[in-house]
Amino acid sequence: YSAFYCSDFDEAAVLVVDTNGSFMERPGESPDALVLERKEHYTAFYGDANGLRTVVADFVGPGEVSLGELYCIYSAAMQLTPREGPYGLDCPQSAGGKLMGLASYDLGRTEAPALCALHGDHLEISLPRVVDHLERRGFVRRREPGLEGIFGFEMRPFVELERREGSLADERYISLAGEAQRALEGALIELARRLHAETGSKNLCLAGGTMLNVTATTRLLEDTPFERIFVQPAANDAGIAIGAALYGYRDILGGRARPYLREPYDTCLGRRYRDDEVVDAIARREGQVSARRLVSLQDKSEAILPRLMAGEIVGVFEGRSEFGPRALCHRSLLALPRDPAMREKMNALKHREWYRPVAPVVLEEDFADLFEAPFASVPFMTFSARCKQAVIDRAPAVCHVDGTARPQTVTADRSPLVHRLLCDMKRAGELPILVNTSLNVDGEPIVETPEHALDAFVSSHLMGAIVIDEHLVDRRT
């Protein structure tokens, strides 16, 4: 629901791939006990004016893992998160972006092992086979037999991680990340091709946390017969709220309107903060910050652009916050990408790993001049693109090691301030690209309120200034 009904497609195939879908349980030996029999793996639908119908519903049983779980197990084997948890480390689902970023360093493009097999509609990934493969490569060790009878999230007592030796920059870790990425892409391409054969649609909608992998979604555009793809920007579990609301509207209340056929979907679903709330938040930090009011876009650009040109990082808090895991210029950190060291500076501000890329934001009308991609615009950072030579030469901070980037395109109506900044950069003879990453600091979510934004600013000496709606905030000296 969140994918199809937020798209602008009259009809489309829909593919949902997650780490864990719904659990199917049966009564246990006691009245209150439930036994897990299987859980959702991937689900495919076809949507049109008559609604959504299920094309395939695949399930994982004991001794198997889902495609998303496979990626998590690789993340755990590489110890990309530092604490213990169900796959060997705490919440390896959160390490998906880390693994994707590191996989790009595998320029030799390690081949995927034969871990995924499609039997009819069932995508089989054997848990014992996965563990055996990682054990042969020296990343895990079996402690107990019995993997055939458990689910992936129960594997913690059965498998021990080998202590990580050396750096993640070592070839053995980079090649492991590469093979995980190839396995994911290969399986998704096979599922998508089969879905196209079933539906005949030229359009594909994607949801599920696995679909936040922009390298994989781009491969689906390049290597399947689908001509247009919409990825729900909140493809992770957050998007369930949108899907549930749309299900209630259509299937319970009988609503039939599809507003996004007429107007593009917008992720800015947060509340708008009143000016007095911003003023009060600034006043409570009177001894730490100073502020001045800038009402017009031109005033803001004239105040911010010189600081960006001087190499400062500037925070932007503009209007409603975005719903989903990505900051799209309403809760962002901006910087000029002409210095290759800016990526390291941004990663230091956010306490991120050395191998994590930062994303570019560009004017929609300039996208084709700067990037090569099988699409004309990308407002939600849901695909990757290849950097053209001008970007490589003049904006190296946003070019990942493999020559790609995860761009965002902006228009004046969606992101007024950033659009104005880019236009003014263009007029000044600069390449109109900015670094855009989320406005948050180590361990904190993307900021929501003016209070949160000021807390992030005060706590980070690497942020030069922050704009909160009509207020430019500096540190008090």
Supply the CATH number for residue 379's domain. Answer: 3.90.870.20
pLDDT at 20: 86
Same domain, 431 and 283: yes
Same domain, 314 and 356: yes
Same domain, 415 and 282: yes
pLDDT at 89: 47
Supply the CATH number for residue 77's domain. Answer: 3.30.420.40
Same domain, 259 and 304: no
Q: What is the rounded CA–CA span in Å between residue 265 and residue 136? A: 47
The edge-to-edge listing of strands for the beta sheet with 385-387 is 371-372, 385-387, 404-405
First to last CA, the chain: 51
Same domain, 195 and 51: yes
Same domain, 295 and 256: no
Same domain, 142 and 23: yes
Same domain, 452 and 401: yes
User: Based on the structure, what is the number of domains in the chain?
Assistant: 2
* Structural domain ending residue among the three candidates 222, 242, 264: 264
Same domain, 244 and 288: no
User: Each residue of 173-203: pLDDT tens digit?
Assistant: 999 999 999 999 999 999 999 999 999 999 9
- 456's tokens: 């992030």
51 occurs within a structural domain: yes
Mean pLDDT over 164-180 rounds to 92
Mean pLDDT over 447-457 rounds to 97
269 occurs within a structural domain: no
Q: Above 70 in pLDDT, residue 440?
A: yes
pTM: 0.94
* Structural domain ending residue among the three candidates 244, 264, 284: 264
Q: Above 50 in pLDDT, residue 235?
A: yes
270 occurs within a structural domain: no
Q: What rounded mean pLDDT belongs to the chain? A: 94
* Structural domain ending residue among the three candidates 241, 264, 287: 264
CA distances from 60 to 42, 76, 126, 153 (A): 9, 20, 10, 12
Same domain, 297 and 202: no
Same domain, 352 and 219: no
Same domain, 328 and 399: yes
379 occurs within a structural domain: yes
| Angle made by CA atoms 338, 339, 344, in degrees to the nearest 5 | 130
User: Each residue of 15-42: pLDDT tens digit?
Assistant: 999 988 888 877 776 767 777 789 999 9
For residue 304, the enclosing domain spans 275-475
pLDDT > 90 fraction of the chain, expressed in percent and rounded: 84
